[in-house]
Chain A
Amino acid sequence: MSESKHKFAFYLGCIAPNRYPGVESASIKAMKKLGVELVPLKGASCCPAPGAFGSIDLNVFYAMAARNIVLAEQMKMDIALVCNGCYKSIWEVNHKLKHNKDLRDNVNEVLKEVDMEYKGTINVYHTAELLYNDKFIGVDKVRDSVTNPLTGARIAVHYGCHLVKPHKDREFEQEAMLNTEHPTWMEELVAALGATPVEYRNKMQCCGAGGGVRGYDIVHALDIANEKLINLKEVQVDALTDICPFCQLQFDRGQIEIKEKFGVSYDLPVLHFAELLGLAQGMSPQDLGLDLHGISCEPFLQKVL
């Protein structure tokens, strides 16, 4: 691939680069193979965490998110990101600022102090959206890029919340992505990798980590995650895939905490879709840093490699 068809400023967030770096490297390499170049967004910070910051002071939340957006505006590039929480902050603040002059003025008053101005010149995308949308990549191209199909693996999808909900405020070009009750677009992507997507009870339930609850009341947060793990156990899957590193943390590290606190264990490997895509395109588990995961991916890897 000589030159990429599409270029995006790659907004990393916190948990992907600082806990699951495989998500970062897999995204860059896999997307490159699919004609999308992810260019580092220098100096980006935390999105900021929508639960923590939004709860304290929404004005700070808007201003901090706007700063990240302005960095991309300065690069004259749309943003691509890999985390639902970041999507909520970056996409939603961008959308709000574009449509509300009062908010934009307030934010720009603050940004002026740091010699920045929000102009509203770029768009924000989740990489999952780029993968699903034919305009950028599309399921067929994803399927064509697979060199190591994940045949035989039963994989369930955790959609998470902040990419798709509330659907009435989202503006995805694909109707399928606006379905928040029984979506199947991620399952299409999973199937494109050669794996078998598996449905399970209450698929659209939250992981329990958001809104600061994981920090505020850890057992409450884990109990929500545990409910999903119980439902997943019912259908016997080899792995759970997500598109949000924070959800991934909650299910991956969370399983260790659940074992500790509730005395139940599942040993269910949890992988970001970028990691799955990397594997299917032939990246090695080592290249993906899968050894950093709290729950060993070995049983799953043995099945697919």
Chain B
Amino acid sequence: MAEKKATTKKTETKKDTKKVAPVKDDVKKQAPAPAAKPKAAAAPAQVGSTIKQEPRIGVFVCHCGTNIAGSMDIPAVQEYASTLPGVEYVDNYQYMCSTPGQSKIDKAIHDHKLTGIVVAACSPRLHEPTFRTATKEGGLNPFRFEMANIREQNSWVHMHDREGSTDKAKDAVRIAVAKAKLLQDLYPKTVPVEKSAMVVGAGVAGMQAALDLAAAGIKTYLVEADTSIGGRMSQLDKTFPTLDCSQCILTPKMVDVGRDQNIELYTWSEIEAVEGYIGNFDVTIRKKARGVLTPKEAAARGIVGGGCNGCGDCDAVCPVVKPNDFEVGMKPRKAIYINHPQVVPLIYTIDFNSCIKCGLCVTACGSEKRAIDLESKDEFIKVKVGTAILATGYDIFPIEKKEEWGYKKYENVITSLEFERLICASGPTGGHLVRPSDGQTPKKVAFVLCAGSRDNTGTGKPYCSRFCCMYSLKHAHQIIEKIPGCVPYLFYMDIRSFGKMYEEFYYRIQDEGAKFIRGRVANILEDPKTKNLHVHADDTLLDRPIDLDVDLVVLAAAIQPKADTNRTRKLFGVSCSMDGWLLEAHPKLNPCGTTTAGVFLAGVCQAPKDIPDTVASAEGAASAASIPIHKGEVELEPYFASCIEERCAGCGMCVNLCPYSALSLVEKEGRKVMQVTEAKCKGCGTCGGFCPGGAIWMNHFTTPQIVAQIDAFLLGGEQ
């Protein structure tokens, strides 16, 4: 140890740190009075006051009930902390985040004239803001606080190693104290918030969020990848448990969205680029070439009274036939098409991947409307918004991957979404449920629940898709209602009817005659002659294997994040969980927020939700997204980089490295130096880590602070 210590002391870094400002000695001199002044362009060389003050650190160890105390020796950690140089005061409490716990910090700052606070507790992601507030209450600058994580990274993972976790907690406290001794006063920057918002995805979640924001007086840009709004819900026939028709309740909302003065709708569009930060996002929207002009666009081109009025004359003459995705491929559409007659906006779109540019539609459209432009190109529109909501929704898991059920191999095995279209009055069969193989009405229908959900094999999804039980109950009801004598068999593991009036709905469907078989379907075999299907399972309640001969099988396929979700989330800097759903800031206490300030989540893109939960989450997201806009300004964490100009060689390498375009080179006193746009800087440290001259100072993560932490760890506290 002694040898190591000697070596470290000899290192260049160490010497350097002593020589150049800002150095530890300087930092030690700082007064509790403001050091780094807000908006001060001054280099950190000037940071610190001349009043000498030795660091006086208070350390507080949290039990977190038994979360921490159950796995380690708290008194030992506290005792150890008291021996660390610079530590003036130590204490512990059952719940440091509670009022009594926070008061301890407040009181100790006053009683012991502390200059820095360390709380050894949970993750800073959870309670750093809490303890900063407590530090501030005690009269210190809130950034004089450092957290030692002894829960998520310690007690929870070393539950059965009391000695080891106690030692690790001591290390964590020692490291935190080393940094706390060097902490400086910092002042958050306040920036104004643009009074507009963006919603990505116009399914029921995005529509609801946009309507709420618009109703709160906020200009809202609603961006939808498809040609019309409505999303998955517009594909559904009826909705559980009330059985109201999906179209009947959704269409009025679609119309509202279409005519709301505060909503600017972009369909057939996607997000191209996002720059900026909360309050000031610069978003580029790619308006994909549609080939058809809206009346407004036509007017802009001087075509008075022109543009698409949805008459469908083009559709009638188009010679290209393609499967209609909205009807899950069960109905044809043309190369120029609308998804269905009730679309909003009622504007046709040309599928340029299949259009042969024969020009028949142009002729049919006529010289008055002149709505069709076969040469139209993608357009890019830049908008500025204060906050954004992602509502990108879901896709159906490609259930043919579970080969045992024969989807796409056996004609009469369909998915629930196909069932929705087949049973829907406006669907491809006019609402008549038929077998795809022969158009016959089925008399026995098997429903395979958990098709690809609750599946840990890697082919499938480990989570519960959360609405399949309920819509399958609804499907059973619809069969019984529409086809006299037809029996639905539901193969299930558990019926998860947890929502309001859901269990009652289950009761009703059972009473109507649906047969429930508790067993997951093992495999399905087709009778090649009749195209009937043999469903093999174990009736686990009867304890007998089953071979059930049915006419039609409906797979309640798992759902997964929409294909484009990953690209979109990266643009907004939002994380996702292991299963691909977008990650909320906190699963319970901040389900609509994300770790990127100003970006929120609505609906299924966060996790599977039924319609009531989706709408609730959308309203929550809209409310959360409107708060910064109504406040008018937001505070930014003062973690930005700054340039120590005398050390900067003006090489400009950092400028190219910065992922946030926050850096630039400016001319100062006849030479080039780097300058930081603080509002854009996220404090990621890329520039600071790279700068060959050590000229970049990362506030709150300064080189001396980090070196002190490393030293504290490697050298056991003897620095």
Contact = CB atoms under 8 A, between A and B. Distances in A.
Direct contact of A and B (CB under 8 A): yes
Interface of A: 168, 179-182, 199, 201-202
A182 B409 CA distance: 9
15 contacts: A168-B457, A168-B458, A179-B403, A180-B403, A181-B403, A181-B404, A181-B406, A181-B523, A182-B403, A182-B406, A182-B409, A199-B528, A201-B525, A201-B527, A202-B525
Interface string B443-462: 00000000000000110000
Nearest to B536: A202
Interface in B521-576: 523, 525, 527-528
Contacts, number: 15
A182 B527 CA distance: 14
Nearest to B459: A168
A291 to B, nearest CB: 36
B157 to A, nearest CB: 24
Nearest to A199: B528
Interface of B: 403-404, 406, 409, 457-458, 523, 525, 527-528
Contacts of A181: 403-404, 406, 523
The DSSP consensus for interface residues of chain A is loop
Contacts of A199: 528
Pick the 3 closest A-B CB pairs, nearest first.
Answer: A181-B403, A181-B404, A202-B525
Most buried by B among A168, A179, A182: A182
Nearest to B458: A168
A202 B528 CA distance: 12
A201 B523 CA distance: 13
A199 B458 CA distance: 29
B527 to A, nearest CB: 8
Contacts of B528: 199
B207 to A, nearest CB: 41
A168 B528 CA distance: 28
B236 to A, nearest CB: 31
Contacts of A168: 457-458
A180 B402 CA distance: 11
A48 B128 CA distance: 62
A182 B526 CA distance: 12
B539 to A, nearest CB: 19
A180 B528 CA distance: 19
A180 B527 CA distance: 19
A229 B458 CA distance: 35
A181 B410 CA distance: 13
Most buried by A among B404, B457, B458, B525: B525
Nearest to B526: A201
A179 B404 CA distance: 10
Contacts of B523: 181
Nearest to A201: B525
Contacts of B409: 182
A179 to B, nearest CB: 6
A201 B528 CA distance: 9
A202 B526 CA distance: 9
Nearest to A200: B528
Given A179-B403, A181-B523, A199-B528, 8 more contacts: A168-B457, A168-B458, A181-B406, A182-B406, A182-B409, A201-B525, A201-B527, A202-B525
Nearest to B409: A182
A79 B525 CA distance: 36
Contacts of B406: 181-182
Nearest to B403: A181
Nearest to A202: B525
B205 to A, nearest CB: 36
A108 to B, nearest CB: 31
A14 B644 CA distance: 80
A211 B281 CA distance: 65
A199 B404 CA distance: 16
A181 B458 CA distance: 17
Contacts of B527: 201
A180 B403 CA distance: 8
B78 to A, nearest CB: 41
A221 to B, nearest CB: 18
